[in-house]
Structure 1
Amino acid sequence: MARAQENRTGGGNRTGGGNRTGGGGGTRQAGGRQAGRQRRNGRPRDEEGILPVLARAVREVESRAQRRPLGSEQRTTFQVVAMLAREERTRVKNDPELAEPRRAEQLKRLDGIATILAKTATTDSTLFTLLGDDAEITADARALRREMLEQAGVEAGEDAPAALAADPADAPVDRQVVPRSVVRRRLANPFQVPEYLDDTTPPTPPRRLGSWELLGPLFESFERAADGTASSMELPDPAGRRTPSGLQLMEHQAQLVCAAEKGHRTFLLADEPGLGKTAQALLAAQAAKAFPLLVVVPNVVKSSWVREARHWTPGHPVTAIHGDGHDLDAFADIVVVNYDVLDRHVGWLGDFGFRGMVVDEAHFIKNKGSQRSRNVLRIAQRIREGRARPLLMALTGTPLINDIEDFRAIWQYLGWIDDKKPTPYLLGRLEDTGLTPIDPQFSGAARRCVIDMGIVRRRKVDVASDIPARRVADLPVELDGEEGRSIAAAERELAARMVARYDAAMAARGTPSADLDRDLVHAIAVSERKDSESKKTGENVFGMMRRIGRAKAGLAADYTAQLARSVGKVVFFAKHIDVMDAAEEAFSSRGLRHVSIRGDQSPTQRQAAIDGFVEDPSVQVAVCSLTAAGVGLNLQVASDVVLAELSWTDAEQTQAIDRVHRIGQDRPVTAWRIIAAQTVDARIAELIDSKAGLAARALDGSDAEAGSSADVQVQALESMLVDALAAR
């Protein structure tokens, strides 16, 4: 990052000893003296530049986090402060003109900002996703970055990191583009054929339910899984249905295509990963005659969608939008665009006349406050306004990541609900039940009404019995040496700190009880995440998990190398870049050929790595980022997966395993989780497994107890405290 501009006093000397005052040299010299006086007599030098701007911003976010959950605006501020702090640290370390005392002072201030960021992130673990190298940088974040730099007196474009300068999504929301080929299409066909509803029956007007709050009960009906059955609408028998020449559909795929052919137009296709959702969506569009079709996808799978469209629907040309869309073919039947560039194309996409829209990895829009969610919802609304009964499909193998509320944005995209209530068609179905939310039967009936709107959920075990089974095997490892002892000491220190707080609270009551107070345990665990004193030690559950990941890296790489030499190709997943780096160094030292799939790669680099792993027999390991490579990859050439680090959610872990366990796999799949024994790592693994019940209960009709939506981190701290109290 460029340094804040400072007035210099040597301007006159550079212009001939100050004789050319009319040329500006003297003015600069006088300006420099004046600025110097201001620094001596007014604002101190320490309050110049970007540091005070960052300090004010981060303290505002910290204050908000202590009172209530952060909104989208504060989350954006958190991300931008972290981004600018990293840039400033790099500048300070590499500035040759900076005196060492000054350098040390600025690095100390940056450490303080980093400490506040870490403390704030412990109040909401999802904030850590904003700090990753592959985190999305929205248009709002870019605008705030420019604003902060202007406040600091720095040109926003100076020394911008390449990732910011070159990112095609770096476009203000109001900077819309219209590709030339779109203009040509409009000129060639300026009139759109009017469409009329096939079913002119008006929706049932609200009778009993007009004054009821219904969204909460609808979401709760899925959490309860009242009838114990899978969340999937009834689909027609596909017998006799024609398939594209030379291509074979599985029965479950043909069922959905047949439903679209018979007139169903909204689908939440939540099949487990690996069951061919892409093919189903493309063939459903073909059956519904929903061309032109818009497909919105993560950038990492954009080229994959183009290839799949050419494979499954060869009679319908496909094009992809890159950047401003200069090479877009607007006359194609299928338009594929990634979330990151929707900002600049949202205007013309909404008015283009699409008859269908598919949103892949639809859990990406679960945060309604994000820019990409707003863009998707805006385009879908425009399509519904301009077309009678368009085909709208949301595809995701993991529609529930943390909470039932993750459904909200997806249902709104499909047109089932709006911000406050069900839309008329769903409301009519609810009215027809004759029930209200106070009736005991309402939950089951409401759940079935929503399912029949178009939820389709099939499990591999039910519809793809020819796909071999998978299992997750935990491989405990002992962390020896100095790093292992350091981690153990940090855990003991953390546990002892919580025990001391528990004892102090019990003593303060005056009548302490020998029984364990679970409410107090929970309160201390929550407080521990927020306590600024604990952060002074540099130890918390997040930092320890990262240290454990680094300590496990060599052991996980060793086991991967053994697997590769005995069973063939292996997929290695890690969460942090430094763990990936350590593993790749270990593979190189053993002469083991490998490829790397990361979030900072271009689509061309990514595809080259995938092709190398899949097609080259000598490439034995694919080293993958758990967050960046967990979706959109077909790696069934391998049947063994090594999870070197744990995710915070079961959904992310499952997505990674399903890169291998999918249609086309002909061998049993084993995922080896490397668990650091006798550390918080083992506790986290147990908690992640316990929370896996949420999606099963909501979507698969499981009667297993659903995992709480409470923080895994808080539960891990509670477990540590309970064990420490029991061990006394």
Structure 2
Amino acid sequence: MKSYDSFINGKRASMPPSGFTIDRDALHPSLFDFQRDLVRWALRRGRAAIFAGTGLGKSRMQIEWAMNVHRLTGGDVLLLAPLAVAAQTVREGAELGYEITMCRSQDDVRPGLNIANYEMLHKFEPVFFDGVVLDESSILKSFTGKIRTDLIESFAFTPYRLACTATPAPNDYMEIGNHAEFLGVMSRSEMLSMFFVHDGGETQKWRLKGHAEDAFWRWVASWGVVLEKPSDLGYSDDGYILPPLTITDHVIDVGGEPAKTLSQRQKARRETVAERVAAAAELVSASEGPFLVWCDLNIESEMLAAAIPGAVEVKGSDKPSFKEQAMLDFAAGKIRVLVTKPSIAGFGLNWQHCADMAFVGLSDSFEQVFQAVRRCYRFGQKRPVNVTMITSSREGATAENIKRKEADFRKMVAEMVQYTKEITSESIREAGRDVAEYEPRVPLLIPTWLRSERFASTA
């Protein structure tokens, strides 16, 4: 009987590389060795995912990938990114000497590289593009979301596809499955039936089959690469050692019983806004450098902007053009204090110029808090980063909980990297073009006339 591994290998061989080989030295000289090898690997795959830690240069890698797809095909490539990240990418492209056209619709598209916000996808004709790049592709996480479905369906026939995002939570299998489906490797439902068993009635409660864990990560490594730092793939970490990160609890004593339930905690947040805003304003006034203030409620955002002189508030109801400009101005140092929510500006932006931030209202989503901290605490940051969690005594301390979840996340990511590092290291460093292995399953019958002596003598 065919083994499970051979079954998986058979499924994997049905999705051969669809890309092309390029000389390593032909890639932009400003890219680090690991970045050049990752770009080469992704070009060779044709359709690939790069799950890389914050600050590892995903923007530059995806721009270089897109430019080489354009050079090969002569066609256009569309890059999709979150709000404000698009303009940031245009600037990074210019640093590489490449022109990237900012687009609002198909009418704005110019030959070569084009970029737009995800919200504008409905204004484009995907069939006209030879390549597509998803920046911050964790947008695929929501397996019932409209954008997720639109992305998968719109680019189902696009020859070259690249998805780039930070390392996913190792137990977030839906996100991995959605990436595989976007890339045309395997549908999410097929992935679940092949590698997982369903626990209970919750649609998201899946766990890996006991005998399938190694096979699953080998399958992921055939189309995606996972790394948190260059040394995960055998490269030097020079320039990629982060400075210290300090997370401090600032708990305001307001009396009353600590919250025990989610609804009680939310009630405590609403009733202690004034005290927490006052503490944040005092903290910001004691600093002279850039400061980032995260909040969770609209009332927190409004009161913070009023209490902190010169602070600029970016809220969900603002026009996209205002949000984008404010975020860019903060990055450029034109705004000293920015007040906003992780759901608005927590993904993709490079704010290493800032080393101080405060959370005046905490989302219950660990991912949102984690990503918000990583806007400043990312490779390229030169100063120690200070994060202050401002809460009331009724909410309970939060910093220790964040640290615990961070430690759990790091442990799980390390396990995921360990599963894939040897496979991906060998694949990425491989100089030749990948070739799908031929595994014959049906005996070959040679016709009698082909075996005749007369034919053999003339052969």
Higher strand share: 2
Shift of 1:695: 4.2
Alignment of 1:478-557 (within 5 A): 478-479=252-253, 484-485=254-255, 488-489=256-257, 491=259, 540-557=264-281
Shift of 1:578: 1.6
User: Counterpart amino acid of 2:31?
Assistant: L
Which of 332, 340, 357 aligns to 2:132? It is 357
Which of 385, 393, 413 aligns to 1:699? It is 413
Q: Is 2:311–2:339's contact at 8 Å kept on the other side of the alignment? A: yes
Aligned CA distance change for structure 1 residues 420 and 587 (closer, same or farther; 3 Å): closer
Which of 151, 164, 168 aligns to 1:399? It is 168
Q: Is 1:467–1:662's contact at 8 Å kept on the other side of the alignment? A: no
Q: Is 2:169–2:409's contact at 8 Å kept on the other side of the alignment? A: yes
Q: Which of structures 1 and 2 has the larger relative contact order (alpha carbons within 8 angstroms, sep 6+)?
A: 2
Unpaired runs of at least 5, structure 1: 1-205, 219-237, 428-436, 496-524, 530-538, 705-728
Aligned CA distance change for structure 1 residues 372 and 401 (closer, same or farther; 3 Å): farther
User: Counterpart amino acid of 1:368?
Assistant: F
Give the match's secondary structure for 1:358.
Answer: strand
User: Counterpart amino acid of 1:458?
Assistant: E
Q: Is 2:272–2:392's contact at 8 Å kept on the other side of the alignment? A: yes
Give the match's secondary structure for 1:680.
Answer: coil
Aligned CA distance change for structure 1 residues 608 and 292 (closer, same or farther; 3 Å): closer
Distance of 1:549 and 1:402 partners within structure 2: 35
1:338 paired with 2:122, answer no
Distance of 1:577 and 1:449 partners within structure 2: 44
Distance of 2:130 and 2:340 partners within structure 1: 37
Distance of 1:342 and 1:620 partners within structure 2: 33
Distance of 1:265 and 1:701 partners within structure 2: 27
Which of 101, 118, 143 aligns to 1:319? It is 101
The residue aligned with 2:225 is 455
Shift of 1:301: 2.2
Distance of 1:464 and 1:546 partners within structure 2: 45
The residue aligned with 1:680 is 395
Q: Is 2:252–2:392's contact at 8 Å kept on the other side of the alignment? A: yes
Distance of 1:366 and 1:270 partners within structure 2: 13
Which of 601, 620, 625 aligns to 2:318? It is 601
The residue aligned with 1:572 is 293
Which of 652, 657, 661 aligns to 2:368? It is 652
Unpaired runs of at least 5, structure 2: 13-21, 196-207, 419-459
The residue aligned with 2:330 is 613
Q: Is 1:595–1:613's contact at 8 Å kept on the other side of the alignment? A: no
Aligned CA distance change for structure 1 residues 369 and 478 (closer, same or farther; 3 Å): closer
Alignment of 1:269-418 (within 5 A): 269-288=50-69, 289=72, 291-312=75-96, 314=98, 317-322=99-104, 325-326=106-107, 328-329=108-109, 331-345=110-124, 348-349=125-126, 351-352=127-128, 354-383=129-158, 387=159, 390=160, 392-397=161-166, 399-400=168-169, 403-418=172-187
Aligned CA distance change for structure 1 residues 702 and 549 (closer, same or farther; 3 Å): farther
Distance of 2:111 and 2:405 partners within structure 1: 44
Give the match's secondary structure for 1:450.
Answer: helix
What per-residue deviation string (whole Å, max 9, x for no partner) do you get for residues 606-630 of structure 1?
A: 344244434457x432223222111
Shift of 1:256: 0.9
Instruction: Give the aligned CA root-mean-square deviation in angstroms.
Output: 3.7
User: Counterpart amino acid of 1:271?
Assistant: A
1:264 paired with 2:45, answer yes
Distance of 1:284 and 1:612 partners within structure 2: 28
Distance of 1:608 and 1:401 partners within structure 2: 35
Distance of 1:595 and 1:464 partners within structure 2: 36
Alignment of 1:59-98 (within 5 A): none
Shift of 1:703: 11
Shift of 1:339: 2.3
Shift of 1:570: 1.7
Give the match's secondary structure for 2:111.
Answer: coil
Shift of 1:460: 7.5
Higher helix share: 1
What per-residue deviation string (whole Å, max 9, x for no partner) do you get for residues 475-519 of structure 1?
A: 33223xxxx23xx2574xxx6xxxxxxxxxxxxxxxxxxxxxxxx
Q: Is 1:271–1:458's contact at 8 Å kept on the other side of the alignment? A: yes
Distance of 1:543 and 1:586 partners within structure 2: 22
User: Counterpart amino acid of 1:251?
Assistant: D
Q: Is 2:294–2:359's contact at 8 Å kept on the other side of the alignment? A: yes
Aligned residues: 386
Aligned CA distance change for structure 1 residues 342 and 251 (closer, same or farther; 3 Å): same
Which of 442, 446, 467 aligns to 2:216? It is 446
The residue aligned with 2:285 is 561
**TM-score, length of structure 1 as denominator length:** 0.47
Distance of 2:137 and 2:95 partners within structure 1: 23
User: Counterpart amino acid of 2:59?
Assistant: T
Shift of 1:280: 0.6
**TM-score, length of structure 2 as denominator length:** 0.72
What per-residue deviation string (whole Å, max 9, x for no partner) do you get for residues 224-278 of structure 1?
A: xxxxxxxxxxxxxx9963553xx622333222123235x1223322211222211
Aligned CA distance change for structure 1 residues 307 and 620 (closer, same or farther; 3 Å): closer
Distance of 1:610 and 1:283 partners within structure 2: 25
Q: Is 2:252–2:275's contact at 8 Å kept on the other side of the alignment? A: no
User: Counterpart amino acid of 1:561?
Assistant: S
Shift of 1:597: 3.2
The residue aligned with 2:450 is none
Aligned CA distance change for structure 1 residues 490 and 471 (closer, same or farther; 3 Å): closer
Q: Is 1:363–1:406's contact at 8 Å kept on the other side of the alignment? A: yes
Q: Is 2:167–2:227's contact at 8 Å kept on the other side of the alignment? A: no
What per-residue deviation string (whole Å, max 9, x for no partner) do you get for residues 378-398 of structure 1?
A: 022122xxx4xx2x2211125
User: Counterpart amino acid of 1:477?
Assistant: V
